[in-house]
């Protein structure tokens, strides 16, 4: 083992003491991101000299010929393309920067936000200062073409030899001949060369013998991307044709590719004990020696997948609309074995518009179609909002256009930069996301006994991760139950007030705007599926301060099929209730089947019962939090001295987000996504 001092994790009492020591300071001092150990993570660094091409270069060949297949049109509508234009992101970043200054005396915690949402600007050194003020041009195209297609596999040796993800080259990897094997060997040699420039904060090499130096570093989550300084594009086909140089990349069809940005942890809290370490000192930081899933949960979509049956080698058959008889993948038996199988599903056609572009499936990859670059998730609100800001869009709204178009001098966000907005692509993406939400769950086994009032049903998770998943920015899924006797509504469980824009009966300390329940209404916490962080730093049991989150208070989201709770504990994504791990929250059968079996008692003698599952992208509670924390008024959760957004020059181009995010939500709270969207429904009568 190399001669370096190892930094180990520390307990919450010490963490709290360190944070309070910083928080007692009345001012803050800038520290260049490159010198800040708190945000240092493995992979490519801004000083490494990587320069990425703008997506305009890629659109020349990969767009404008077939919207049902082409990468360009579908990517433009995705949240990947809009990650830097997402108004929720900018408001959240503003709060996180304020939190960071209060907690550690500098705003650099938002570096992790910029590295995932504006990766080109981050890679090319425009992330310092960490308020996004230097971002320009194609930076606003978010997770764009070159970001993904310049990535090389951090675990290239294990993938190449077959020890990481298997050596079933013909089946799992869909390679027909030595063409793929020879191309993979060339990529291995290139990756080995590129990896030798990766350094630790100390300056020592990150790779030893073509593998990461630490055996505990097994996944590159939290935005730890490894980008080649070479301009060659990497992709999942050995027989591709193009006018640019290429490398065949098994990594791009590997499940591990998506871990890069979809397993997010907070490096600041992990490295906090070494806040004063500087580059070149003889230490190894926890974030360099450990996988991101080992510390301070922010989001765990990939870990949820890895703990499921689908994340095991070879994958597993899907459920419902993803079952092998109706859903095609390139895997043996149409199994689902990677994120790409659902989120970049195979379609028939060409990936480029040139006459020699390969029509897929092909002889070399006979089971693989063109990966549809829609990357569809469940965000049906932000893409709709962005489309509404474009004059001529079918959903154009002048007020939305004014709010989102205030310009970089007011919001940092600049909708005129980069490719700009394609409203047709955005609205097409909204419809795809609605389809994805409808396919994500089903309500089955609905049973009611009119004599006893016993009601039961099953919510089946048909996805490869928890239902719901993603960053906990107020998003939630809830069951609404309406019990009728004739035409009279005698009971409603989890009623929603569309005028106020939130669930009724929420606890007052969490949601003072939540209307009180009527006599025939009930709020059932267990039927609201969500993740609430907790923070020992702010003293909140349930917090929206994700940058200050030290744990989880509630996580009752429905596990995917075959969920291994032991693996989930290791990855900090096990169920949590009341601030404590709740491994028994779901039964063994529920973990195995990926569902929640619900039983409750309702009035007897009902003639009709409606059970509806709804999804929300964000909530009134989260928007109110963003507004109040940015403006420094209303329900505040930090000491008064923490609220500096409105007076500190660092926030001069961010401080308007408090009013802006509230006005956007208030005007559009009836739009699906902000308003509950019906995922699935079952009726007894």
- Diameter of the chain measured on Cα atoms: 77
Q: Is the peptide bond before 313 cis (omega within 30 degrees of 0)?
A: no
pLDDT of residue 268: 97
Report the C-alpha gap between 466 and 462 in whole angstroms. Answer: 9
What percent of the chain has pLDDT above 90? 95
The residue extents of the domains of the chain are 382-430, 440-618+674-684
The residues facing 613 across adjacent strands are 479, 680
CB atoms closer than 10 angstroms to residue 144: 26
Q: Is the distance from CB of 7 to CB of 273 less than 8 angstroms?
A: yes
Query: Would the pLDDT of 47 be above 70?
Result: yes
CB 546 within 8 A of CB 533: yes
Task: Tell me what pLDDT residue 470 has.
Answer: 87
Handedness of CA 209, 212, 214, 218 (dihedral sign): negative
CA distance 459 to 440: 10
Q: What are phi and psi of 535, to 5 degrees?
A: -140, 115
How do beta strands 528-529 and 476-485 pair?
antiparallel
Contact 139, 418 (CB under 8 A): yes
Mean pLDDT of the region 454-459: 98
Helix axis angle, 620-631 to 87-104, nearest 10°: 50
Instruction: Answer yes or no: is pLDDT of 204 > 60.
Output: yes
Residue tagged 């320069």 (tokens)? 51
How large is the average pLDDT for residues 144-163? Answer: 98
356 three-state secondary structure: coil
Question: Which candidate, 259, 155, 257, places its Cα nearest to that of 198?
Answer: 155
Helix (H) or strand (E) holding 58: helix 55-62
DSSP 405-439: TS-HHHHS--TTSTT---HHHHHHHHHHHHHHHHH
Helices and strands (DSSP H and E) totals, the chain: 22, 27
For residue 614, list its beta bridge partners.
Answer: 478, 678
Other CB atoms within 10 Å distance of the CB of residue 366: 13
589 CB burial (10 A radius; 0-12, 13-18, 19+): exposed
* Of 585, 593, 513, 590, residue with least CA distance to 556: 585
* CA dist list (Å): 189 to 79, 107, 185, 218: 34, 40, 6, 21
pLDDT number for residue 3: 41
Which is nearest to 425 in space by CA: 58, 63, 54? 63
Of 486, 487, 522, nearest in space to 602 by CA:
522
Query: What would the pLDDT profile of 604-642 be if each residue is shown by its tens digit?
Result: 999 999 999 999 999 999 999 999 999 999 999 999 999
Helices 657-668 & 620-631 angle (0-180, nearest 10): 160
pLDDT of residue 373: 97
**What pLDDT sits at residue 75?**
98
Cα separation of 13 and 202, whole Å? 28
Within 13 Å, how many C-alpha atoms sit on residue 499's CB side? 1
SS3 category, 59: helix
pLDDT for res 25: 46
Q: Which two tokens stand for residue 440?
A: 């994500």
In the structure, what pLDDT confidence band is assigned to residue 395 with cuts at 50, 70 and 90? very high
253-273 pLDDT per residue, tens: 999 999 999 999 999 999 999
Tell me the pTM: 0.96
CA within 13 Å, CB half, 119: 30
Phi, psi for 212 (deg, rounded to 5): -55, 145
Q: Report the DSSP beta bridge partners of residue 534.
A: 551
| Residues 291 and 218: beta-carbon distance below 8 Å | yes
476 confidence band (pLDDT: 50, 70, 90):
very high
pLDDT of residue 471: 85
Is the Cβ–Cβ distance between 35 and 280 less than 8 Å?
A: no
What confidence tens digit (pLDDT) does each residue in 281-340 have? 999 999 999 999 999 999 999 999 999 999 999 999 999 999 999 999 999 999 999 999
User: With pLDDT > 70 as the criterion, what percentage of the chain qualifies?
Assistant: 96
CA dihedral 82, 88, 93, 95 (to 10 degrees): 180
Render pLDDT for 396-433 as a digit per residue (tens, 0 to 9). Answer: 999 999 999 999 999 999 999 999 999 999 999 999 99
Task: Assign 21 a pLDDT band (cuts: 50, 70, 90).
Answer: low
SS3 616: strand
Question: Across all residues in the chain, what is the average pLDDT?
Answer: 95
Query: Residue 40's closest CA among 153, 262, 199, 211?
Result: 199
**Residue 490 pLDDT level (bands cut at 50, 70, 90):** very high
Q: Tokens at residue 624, please? A: 């109110």
Give the per-residue pLDDT at 4.
44
pLDDT value of residue 22 = 63
Q: With CA atoms as reference, report the closest residue to 338 among 257, 262, 225, 436.
A: 257
């Amino acid at each position: 083992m190399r001669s370096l001092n190892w930094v180990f994790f520390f307990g919450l009492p010490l963490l709290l003491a360190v944070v309070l020591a910083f928080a007692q300071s009345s001012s803050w001092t800038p520290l260049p991101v490159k010198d800040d150990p708190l945000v240092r993570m493995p992979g490519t660094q801004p000083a490494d000299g990587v320069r990425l091409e703008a997506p305009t270069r890629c659109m020349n060949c990969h767009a404008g010929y077939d919207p049902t297949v082409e990468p360009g049109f579908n990517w433009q509508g995705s949240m990947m393309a809009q990650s830097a234009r997402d108004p929720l992101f900018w408001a959240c970043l503003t709060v996180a920067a304020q939190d960071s200054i209060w907690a550690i005396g500098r705003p650099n915690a938002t570096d992790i936000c910029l590295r995932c949402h504006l990766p080109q600007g981050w890679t090319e050194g425009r992330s310092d200062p960490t308020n996004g003020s230097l971002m320009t041009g194609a930076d606003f195209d978010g997770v764009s073409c070159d970001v993904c297609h310049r990535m090389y596999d951090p675990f290239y040796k294990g993938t190449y030899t077959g020890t990481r993800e298997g050596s079933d080259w013909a089946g799992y990897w869909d390679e027909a001949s030595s063409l793929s094997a020879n191309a993979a060997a060339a990529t291995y040699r290139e990756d080995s060369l590129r990896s030798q420039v990766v350094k630790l904060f100390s300056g020592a090499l990150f790779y030893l013998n073509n593998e990461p130096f630490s055996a505990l570093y097994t996944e590159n989550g939290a935005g730890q991307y490894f980008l080649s300084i070479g301009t060659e594009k990497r992709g999942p086909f050995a027989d591709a044709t193009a006018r640019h140089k290429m490398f065949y990349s098994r990594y791009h069809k590997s499940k591990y590719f998506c871990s890069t940005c979809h397993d997010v942890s907070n490096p600041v809290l992990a490295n906090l004990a070494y806040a004063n370490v500087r580059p070149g000192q003889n230490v190894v930081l926890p974030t360099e020696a450990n996988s991101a899933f080992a510390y301070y949960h922010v989001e765990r979509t990939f870990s949820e997948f890895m703990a499921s049956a689908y994340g095991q080698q070879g994958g597993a058959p899907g459920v419902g609309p993803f079952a092998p008889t109706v859903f095609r993948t390139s895997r043996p038996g149409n199994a689902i074995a990677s994120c790409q199988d659902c989120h970049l599903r195979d379609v028939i056609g060409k990936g480029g518009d040139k006459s020699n572009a390969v029509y897929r499936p092909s002889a070399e990859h006979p089971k693989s179609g063109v990966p549809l670059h829609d990357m569809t998730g469940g965000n049906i609100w932000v893409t709709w909002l962005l489309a509404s800001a474009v004059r001529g869009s079918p959903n154009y709204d002048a007020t939305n256009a004014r709010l989102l178009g205030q310009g970089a001098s007011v919001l940092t966000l600049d909708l005129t930069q980069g490719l700009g907005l394609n409203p047709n692509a955005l609205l097409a993406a909204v419809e795809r996301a609605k389809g994805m939400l409808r396919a994500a769950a089903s309500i089955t086994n609905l049973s009611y006994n009119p004599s006893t009032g016993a009601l039961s049903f099953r919510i089946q998770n048909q996805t490869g991760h928890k239902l719901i998943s993603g960053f906990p920015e107020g998003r939630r899924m809830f069951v609404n139950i309406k019990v009728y006797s004739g035409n009279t509504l005698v009971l409603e469980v989890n009623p929603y007030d569309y005028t106020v824009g939130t669930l009724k009966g929420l606890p007052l300390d969490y949601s003072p705007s939540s209307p009180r329940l009527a006599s025939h209404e009930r709020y059932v916490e267990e039927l609201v599926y969500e993740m609430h962080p907790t923070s020992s730093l702010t003293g909140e049991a349930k917090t929206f301060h994700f940058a200050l989150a030290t744990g989880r208070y509630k996580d009752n989201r429905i596990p995917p099929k075959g969920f291994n709770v032991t693996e989930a504990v290791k990855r900090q994504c096990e169920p949590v209730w009341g601030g404590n791990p709740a491994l028994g929250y779901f039964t063994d059968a529920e973990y195995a089947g990926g569902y929640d079996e619900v039983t409750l008692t309702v009035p007897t003698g009902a003639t009709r019962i409606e059970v509806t599952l709804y999804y929300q992208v964000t909530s009134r509670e989260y928007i109110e939090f963003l507004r109040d924390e940015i403006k420094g008024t209303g329900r505040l959760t930090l000491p008064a001295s923490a609220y500096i957004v409105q007076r500190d020059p660092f926030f001069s181009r961010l401080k308007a987000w408090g009013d802006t995010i509230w006005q956007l939500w208030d005007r559009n709270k009836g739009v699906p996504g902000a308003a509950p969207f019906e995922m699935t429904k079952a009726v007894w009568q």
